[in-house]
Structure 1
Amino acid sequence: MSGKAEYKSAIRSRKMIRHAFIELLLEKDFEKITVKNIVERAEISRGTFYAHYSDIYAVIEEIENEIMGKTVEFLNDFKAIELIQNPRPFFLKMGDFLQQDIELFQKLVFAKEAPCFVVKLKDVLIEKILSYKETIQSNQERQAYILRVHFLVGGQISMYQDWLAGKIVCSLEELTESVSQIMIQGFKSYTVM
């Protein structure tokens, strides 16, 4: 088999594995999914699975990393000051992304492995918004800004988790608008400097 054909075959196998995993994740809890379930659903051998992934955790980690990559890509479209002055465009992009596969995101956020994923997401958002702190002159104001960023981003992530869990009953657009307004109000004193 030529190198190009092997490469295409590997890509195809990985897609089949991930697709089977996602289908299974939508049907049952992560903890109940086995390699056997995946290879049967993907109609591949165990050897093919292990040629690409060490275990099921590696599959979910790759999916989470892709989602994180997309989040970082969205964040890179904005400067920190834009995110604190008007985070709505960022949240709209993320909302559109969530809507593409809402069931998958619900499962990912509430799987037992999710705390790690949610923490990574929170850390990426915090890091981006904290980059603005360098423009703040006073050490005391800078420290207050750092605390505010952690508080507001943590609350925002929590609100989306609760929305995904059905604890907050509204449309994604309404949630996005509310979260945006909370963030704008929370950072108001830093945007009028």
Structure 2
Amino acid sequence: MTKKTDLRIIRTRKMIRDAFLELILEKGYESITIQHIANHAMINRATFYLHYTDKHNLLAKISEETLQELSDTVQLSLNQERQVNVSKLQNTIVNVCQHIQKNALFYRAMLGQHGVPNFYFRIQQVMKEKLQRAILEFRIPEEELSIPKEIYIQFTSSAFVGMIVWWLDQNMIFSPEHMASLLSKVITMGPVRALGFTPIQQ
């Protein structure tokens, strides 16, 4: 296969994928037909079928590739003293936000008003698996944890994905670096202290 052919295939697939995602934003996934995609991408149906078997195959391919890329950006670890390196954590969040920014059309389509059901939970699952792995890496006994690890994993993954959705809804008003700075503060300090309050016991 020649380089010229490779570039043609890449361009065609990008046209199909962009058209598909734009149509999800406009119509919703369930309403889209192959003809809609072909018309929007300015190709014929036969060209579509050269690359994908149907819209479900197209969705699966885009989702798998993008979520794998997301997973690859999340690098979490503790050191032997069970300390979190805030600088490394912030860099990881920068990488995640840059990934979201680069694939903003995809995430807006998947997570928007007309998005694909349950996709939110697929992103959350990526985060949960990474957190689970970081905690299990050092085999910390359950009795040494302040709270059950399931509570921490569920809360942190839900909050993080929720903030990504908010960031997209706000047209990414903060840079990836600024978002990473804010989110790392909330993660390491907790919501109450990050806001500037001091928790007290009465």
TM range (shorter): 0.7 to 0.9
**Structure 2 residue aligned with 1:61:** 60
Q: Deviations over 1:81-103 (max 9, x none)?
A: 27954321111112222223434
Q: State the aligned residue count.
A: 180
Structure 1 counterpart of 2:107, which letter? F
Q: What is the CA–CA distance in structure 1 between the aligned matches of 2:15 and 2:172, rounded to whole Å?
A: 35
Say what the alpha-carbon RMSD is for the aligned residues.
3.3
Residue 183 of structure 1, aligned match among 158, 173, 187? 187
1:81 and 2:84 equivalent? no
1:140 and 2:157 equivalent? no
Farther off after superposition, 21-30 or 176-185: 21-30
Could you tell me how far 1:52 is from its partner in structure 2?
A: 2.7
Could you tell me how far 1:31 is from its partner in structure 2?
A: 3.7
- % identical equivalent positions: 24
Which structure carries more helix by proportion?
1
- Which 5+ residue runs of structure 1 have no aligned equivalent? 187-193
Q: What is the CA–CA distance in structure 2 between the aligned matches of 1:100 and 1:106, rounded to whole Å?
A: 11
Q: Secondary structure at the match of 2:118?
A: helix
**Structure 2 residue aligned with 1:93:** 95
The 3 A distance-change label for structure 1 pair 111 and 141 is farther
Moved over 6 A (4+): none
**Counterparts of residues 12-161 of structure 1 (less than 5 Å):** 13-25=12-24, 27-75=26-74, 78-81=75-78, 84-86=84-86, 87-110=89-112, 112-134=114-136, 135-141=138-144, 144-161=148-165
Relative to the length of structure 2, the TM-score reads: 0.70
- Which 5+ residue runs of structure 2 have no aligned equivalent? 191-202
Contact 1:39 1:45 in 2 (8 A): yes
**Structure 2 residue aligned with 1:171:** 174
Structure 2 counterpart of 1:139, which letter? E
Q: What is the CA–CA distance in structure 1 between the aligned matches of 2:92 and 2:65, rounded to whole Å?
A: 18
Q: Deviations over 1:7-26 (max 9, x none)?
A: 74655543332233234345
Structure 2 counterpart of 1:148, which letter? Y
Could you tell me how far 1:176 is from its partner in structure 2?
A: 2.9
